[in-house]
């Protein structure tokens, strides 16, 4: 998963919506608006950091797999290589990231940083990751500590011989690989490692085991109604709504950000259908939103990465940035009471 937007990509991809039922409109489900969580891999991890920090009044936790600190590309020299940890002995500047977040907070461009003191953060860096190096991810931990997140609220996993990938118990590549679909299976302490379960359990506490049989199907929805100009996002997104969450029970919302070369345009349903997000969601009254970035809409973003470098807006990390607005509007839709007709 190359984070550099100008990298070459294959032109032989077959466009598919494999594994998802059609649903044109994202529903209003009356979900809880106060305990939202996010996670992501790679560019999706950078986006998860941005969203957690910008909307910290409502986002209670984040899972960050191979991602750097807040506003990284803007506050560091030689921005992209630095933020990916490529420059030896020159990691991203966590203090500069904190200073940027504090400035935005003081200007009311993001929620108050004090909210982060109650956040729960999971951070992961595989020892075999050849795309986002460990020193970049270490700076993410330092950023959250500088921002007031207690050490006890941070789970930092950096001793697993994994490549650049989201880890599942069974599906995907062998653990050490750095290859599409950027989903791998690893063994930790003689057990198959379920990274989604580790993330959600760290954020929410004790959970029921993942469902063996799902009560619903992933739904495809039209993202276009949520998109301000220049988002670079795709026409469609996906959402998993457990049956109970469609029947009047107020559920929680988790936003799962895919990485570069990991949207449905690259890997079909591998990310939204073959990881364990939906199984954990089904057992624990959790709606999972899978927003999608378009590989074709931005010539500078052929890998379909989330914007952590400024291709959609110079201020990509604040609430009013195009992609941040779009995802927030989707979350707001899910939290609106069932049957309401107010816009977004």
**Separation of alpha carbons 269 and 262, rounded Å:** 9
Instruction: Exactly one of 71, 129, 270, 282 is catalytic; name it.
Output: 129
d(CA 84, CA 90): 11
Separation of alpha carbons 324 and 233, rounded Å = 11
- Judge contact between 123 and 69, C-beta under 8 A: no
Cis peptide before 181 (omega within 30 of 0): yes
Listed in sequence order, the residues at least 6 apart from 226 whose beta carbon sits closer than 8 Å to its beta carbon are 26, 326, 329, 330, 333, 344
Residue 164 designated active-site? yes
Of the residues 37, 39, 42, 58, only one is catalytic, namely: 42
Q: Which of 56, 119, 139, 164 is catalytic?
A: 164
- Ranges of beta strands (E only) in 128-235 are 154-157, 166-168, 173-174, 183-185, 187-188, 191-192, 219-222
Minimal CA–CA distance to 333: which of 253, 232, 267, 243?
253
SS in 3 state form for 106-124?
HCCCCCCHHHHHHCEEEEE
Distance set, CA 31 to CA 36, 88, 118, 130 (Å):
9, 45, 21, 38
Q: Evaluate whether 21 touches 239 at the Cβ level (below 8 Å).
A: no
The secondary structure of residue 211, as a DSSP letter, is: P
Query: Which residues belong to the active site?
Result: 42, 129, 164
């Amino acid at each position: 998963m190359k984070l550099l937007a100008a990298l070459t990509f294959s032109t032989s991809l077959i466009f598919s919506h494999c594994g998802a039922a059609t649903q044109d409109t994202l529903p209003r489900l009356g979900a809880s608006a106060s305990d939202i969580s996010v996670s992501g891999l790679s560019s999706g991890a950078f986006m998860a950091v941005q969203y957690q920090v910008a909307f910290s009044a409502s986002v209670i936790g984040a899972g960050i797999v191979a991602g750097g600190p807040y506003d990284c590309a803007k506050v560091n020299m030689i921005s992209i290589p630095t933020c990916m940890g490529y420059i030896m002995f020159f990691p991203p500047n966590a203090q500069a990231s904190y200073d940027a977040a504090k400035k935005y907070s003081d200007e009311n461009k993001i929620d108050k940083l004090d909210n982060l003191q109650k956040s729960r953060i999971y951070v992961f860096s595989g020892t075999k990751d050849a795309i986002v190096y460990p020193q970049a991810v270490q700076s993410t931990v330092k950023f959250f500590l500088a921002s007031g997140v207690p050490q006890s609220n941070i789970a930092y996993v950096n001793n697993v011989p994994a490549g650049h990938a989201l880890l599942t118990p069974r599906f995907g590549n062998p653990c050490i690989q750095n290859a599409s679909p950027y989903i791998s299976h690893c063994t930790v302490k003689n057990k198959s490692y379920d990274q989604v379960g580790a993330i959600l359990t760290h954020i929410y506490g004790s959970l029921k085991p993942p469902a063996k049989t799902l009560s619903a199907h992933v739904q495809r929805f039209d993202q276009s109604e949520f998109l301000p100009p220049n988002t670079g996002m795709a026409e469609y997104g996906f959402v998993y709504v457990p049956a109970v969450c469609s029947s009047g029970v107020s559920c929680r919302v988790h936003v799962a950000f895919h990485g570069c070369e990991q949207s449905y345009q690259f890997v079909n349903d591998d990310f939204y259908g073959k990881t364990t997000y939906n199984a954990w969601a089904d057992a624990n009254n959790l709606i999972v939103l899978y927003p999608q970035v378009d590989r074709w809409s931005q010539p500078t973003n052929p890998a379909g990465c989330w914007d952590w470098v400024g291709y959609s807006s110079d201020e990509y990390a604040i609430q009013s940035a195009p992609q941040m607005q779009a995802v927030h509007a989707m979350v707001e839709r899910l939290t609106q009471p069932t049957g309401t007709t107010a816009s977004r």
